[in-house]
Structure 1
Amino acid sequence: MDKEQKLPAVFSQLAEKLRDISRTSNHLDEKLKSAYTIVATDHPLVRADGRHDDAKGIQQLLNLADRKKGIHIVFPPGLYTLRRPLRLKPNTFFEADDNSIFRKKHHGPMLLNLRRRNRMRAYRGNGNLIIRGGTWDTNYPAYRGGTSFVLAHAENVIIEQLRLVEHGGGHAIELNAVRHIEVRHCQFLGYDDRGGKRTYSEAIQLDLAKARRVFPWGGSVFDQTTCQDIWVHHNSFGPSETKGSWGRAIGSHSATADRWHERIFVTDNVMKETLQWAVRAYSWRNVVLYNNRIESCGGGIAIHPNHVDGRNDTDSKNRPTGRSNPIKNFLVIQNTICGGGNYASAIRLKGDEQSPITGAYLRGNHVESYTGRGVLVTGTADERSRSF
């Protein structure tokens, strides 16, 4: 892009939104640190010895959030056995020591912010949450269940400084119909694609409240609420000592006509050896992808409208529209993509004639030792969208 050419005002607005997300997170951190605080192992049912089930006692502590109008639970070092999912209430700070391990021994998610009988809609569900620290061991293949963290219909959530490991299928984190979310300084290590059946699965998936087939955990009203104001930064994604890497590190794979995930920021992450894309922006708009390092992945960064397939192009009343969503405003700058390329391009922008991509700016990206295409751009509205 010519040095004299100025970026549209929308990117200045996105920068301000990023500052707003940061301010919201800081406020939430200060609020919940001063909430009613308890040490988990003070509860008689929480032993952290690797033998007894700790989930019942932990859940009793989590339920105190309703009565105390907020709770801060501190988990000392130890091995916490979870024989049932944990359910978060609003205004909960779940703080684990770096030497805490939570090991799943059941066939469901590890942590959810809803119950099956809930009827959550829009962003009015169980929010104001901080999940910090510890190693969360999904323990696959001994136990199935796919996705570890399920967060839906909520706002104001921080997930930070934790390790999510040893998955089989599913996602590490499902973000569904949420806004004002930060995922930062986490590690996502080890994934089994179940014999090639889940090569597309994301470690962090952004999804919308579309239908039971894409959100099978119950508790949600399928009102087509999307994700907004999401910042994923300073995380690492890759293989573990016993399993390979993810299908995709961050992305989406379902959509609804005339609905978008908006104001999505993916910055300063390291993504290694994904089977498909490192990042797949699928029916997203107003997006910043900055300073990510992508190493030996099948593909790099993909910017795609939703498919016209009778499923992803249906509207909120489940009527096929026969067209994809127009997508716009992508700032893709200073990303490094090295090695890999056996699946697709290093950077791919793929619009179509009916719904072209507008306002896509690529600048300062570096591609090296890549076996696939470097940059592939189709279906853009004007030459400015092709500025590198």
Structure 2
Amino acid sequence: MSETKEFLKKRHRLAVILFILGCCLLVGVNAAQAQAASDTPIYYQGRTIGYYNDAGQIEYVPSPDGNLNYKALTYLITGNKQKTIIIPSGASIYINGPLKPGSNTTIIAQGATITVKKKSNAIFTEPNRKITNLSIIGGTWRSADAGGRTGSLFVFAHASNVMMDGVDCNANYKGHTIEIIACSNVTIQNCVVSAIGSCPAKCLEEQIQVDIATKKTSPKISSYGKKYVKGQTCKNIYILNNQVSGARAVGVNWTSSEKGKWRGKYHKNIVISGNTLTSSTSEGLAYFNVIGGKITNNTIITYAKRKDSNSSYTIGVHVAVFGKAPKSLAKSKLEISNNTIKGRRNGIYLKGYFNKKETKCLAKLGKVYVKNNQIYCKKGKKNSVKQTKKSCKKLKKSGNKYYKW
């Protein structure tokens, strides 16, 4: 009887051991399957160019060959399905051409350095594709051009729901780092955007440019067809918490080209907030043909010294309109508040659209509120805030402090 009990005990112990081993084996198999699932490779032309991680993101495998990087990344970002591509931190890659992403694309490049070939955009959204939901997060982005890109490094055209966050990027003084053409719902935030190379004495180019789509202002977009350059403007553009330096740090633009046919085209709701904007030879901020917006909590400085008839380029914040406007302009509100602004001719200058002799204002700015700013002006306190005659339907100043700079 005792032998039977002992046998049963041994069998029980054996069953327990087998059960534990089985569980371990099952866990090991499941872990291996999970690992395999998270490391699913992606191939292009017989080469592994990335792996899917547990979150379904694509972890890119850089190549020392710039042409392979260009083709592989183009392959990964093409199409409109949801996708996130991670360029690994610490990587330094060369790309032999512009990346033209599809919609629903996120590129994460935190800690990576990306250099694009000479005379090339880094990112370009093709206007005929109407790209939406594009994010560029982090990374140091450069052009191989000596002295920086003299065209535009990033170009967003006829796109919507675009974000750049935490990107370090630059271009030549005569170029643009970021060009936004006929777009809506674009946010540029937490970026370092700077001009490099030599700055011409009368350079007016912006490092961040919010632009109208015309043949003159957007020749590359014009190559896609006339319908993409019919004076389309921007709406809901947010420039937030960036450090920007250049000949002109930020410009929201108009054009007198094609015999002035686009003078009456206006951008809507342009918000400039929390930035440090530093300009060398033009306005700290040029804010032209805009209906409604905010300029708040910035430090805006221009060191421009021009003394000729173009002294307007030495203004800290230059707000103006250059064509007949829709009725919504007169009803609009512009807030300029809580900024530190330094300019030469004026700290802040406001101008409506007048006839040639400036005897009649043909388009007035709406309600403009200038409040709680610290404004420095080389030409004295009395020139800190000025408007041409009655350019504003209503101009209210309060809580500002004025200084001779």
- Report TM bin, short chain: 0.7 to 0.9
The answer to whether the aligner puts 1:377 opposite 2:387 as a matched pair is yes
* Residue 127 of structure 1, aligned match among 128, 132, 141: 132
- The structure with the largest alpha-carbon Rg is 2
**Aligned mates of 2:397, 2:200 — CA distance in 1:** 40
Match of 2:84 in 1: 72
Instruction: Sort the Cα spacing of 1:301 and 1:35 in 2 relative to 1 into closer, same or farther, 3 A.
Output: farther
Percent identity between the two aligned chains: 21
The answer to whether structure 1 residue 267 and structure 2 residue 273 are counterparts is yes
Equivalent AA in structure 1 for residue 388 of structure 2: T
| Aligned equivalents of 2:139, 2:317: Cα separation in 1 | 30
Instruction: Tell me, in whole angstroms, the C-alpha distance in 1 between the residues paired with 2:338 and 2:145.
Output: 36
How far 1:54 sits from its partner (Å)?
2.1
Could you tell me which residue of structure 2 aligns to residue 285 of structure 1? 291
After TM superposition, the structure 1 = structure 2 runs for residues 4-19 of structure 1, keeping only pairs within 5 Å, are none
**Could you say which residue in structure 2 is the equivalent of 1:91?**
104
TM-score, length basis structure 2: 0.70
CA spacing shift, 1:346–1:158, aligned 2, 3 Å: same
Deviation (angstroms), 1:358: 2.5
The equivalent of 1:209 in structure 2 is 213
Structure with the larger RCO, 1 or 2 (CA within 8 Å, 6+ apart): 1
Where does residue 304 of structure 1 map in the other structure? 320
Q: What are the within-5 Å matches in structure 2 for residues 187-336 of structure 1? A: 187-192=192-197, 195-196=200-201, 199-211=203-215, 213-217=217-221, 218-219=223-224, 221-238=228-245, 245-254=246-255, 256-298=262-304, 299-306=315-322, 327=329, 328-336=332-340
Distance 1:153 1:144 in 2: 22
Which residue of 43, 54, 59 corresponds with 1:39? Answer: 59
In terms of mean alpha carbon deviation, does 253-262 or 100-109 score higher?
253-262
Cα offsets for 1:253-281 (capped at 9, x unmatched): 43623321001111000112432111111
CA distance in 1, matches of 2:54, 2:247: 37
For residues 144-159 of structure 1, the aligned pairs below 5 Å read: 144-159=149-164
Residues 371/387 of structure 1: CA separation in 2 closer, same or farther (3 Å cut): closer
User: Structure 1-normalised TM-score?
Assistant: 0.73
Distance 2:390 2:181 in 1: 29
Equivalent residues in 2 for 1:40-55, closer than 5 Å = 40-41=60-61, 46-47=62-63, 49=64, 54-55=69-70
For 2:57 and 2:390, how far apart are their aligned partners in 1? 53
Letter in structure 2 aligned against 1:89: G
Runs of 4+ aligned residues of structure 1 deviating over 4 Å after TM superposition are 33-36, 49-53, 142-145, 323-328
| Residues 1:358 and 2:366 aligned together | yes
CA contact (8 A) 2:192 2:244 kept: yes
CA pair 347-203 structure 1, distance change in 2 beyond 3 A = same
Please tell me the root mean square deviation across aligned C-alpha atoms, in Å: 2.8
Correspondence 1:175 to 2:183? no
> What is the alpha-carbon distance in structure 2 between the residues aligned to residue 294 and residue 228 of structure 1?
23
- Which blocks of at least 5 consecutive residues in structure 1 are unaligned? 1-32, 239-244, 307-312, 314-322
Higher helix share: 2
Taking the aligned partners of 2:213 and 2:122, their CA distance within structure 1 comes to: 20
Read off the aligned partner of 1:37 and give its amino acid letter.
Answer: Q
CA contact under 8 A between 2:366 and 2:393: conserved in structure 1?
Answer: no
Contact 1:237/1:246 (<8 A) preserved: no
User: Does 1:107 find its partner at 2:119?
Assistant: yes
Judge conservation of contact 2:347–2:377 (CA < 8 Å) in 1. Answer: no
Once residues 198 and 55 of structure 2 are traced to their aligned partners in structure 1, the CA distance between those partners, rounded to angstroms, is 40
Question: Residues of 1 paired with 2:285 and 2:101: CA distance?
Answer: 28
